[in-house]
Amino acid sequence: MSHRTFDDPHGTSDKARQGLLDNRCEHKTKRHRTLGRRKRISAAKRQRIKDSNAKRLAKLRKYNEKVQAYWRGDIEDHPRLRLS
């Protein structure tokens, strides 16, 4: 059923018919000329994941260095792990 409403209850006017035709194709997927956009979006997602993993690993490395320093006796208190 159409999402649009018209003044003409029977849908016999040209405006109503064209609105229904336009609305029929409203939710189909776009297939042409979308490959480049899809590739750019996918590359951006992969880059975001790489960046977040790099940040997480950097924090973990710093934490591990502090833990090793604690066990060597260089610092007094055991460090707390804060990844978020």
Domain spans of the chain, in order of start:
14-72
Q: Tell me the per-residue pLDDT of 23-47, one tens digit each, with 9 for 90 and over.
A: 656 667 777 788 888 899 999 999 9
CA-CA-CA-CA torsion for 62, 66, 72, 74, nearest 10 degrees? 120
Q: Looking at the predicted structure, is the pLDDT value of residue 52 above 80? A: yes
Give the model's pLDDT for residue 70: 95
* Confidence (pTM): 0.54
The Cα diameter of the chain in Å comes to 87
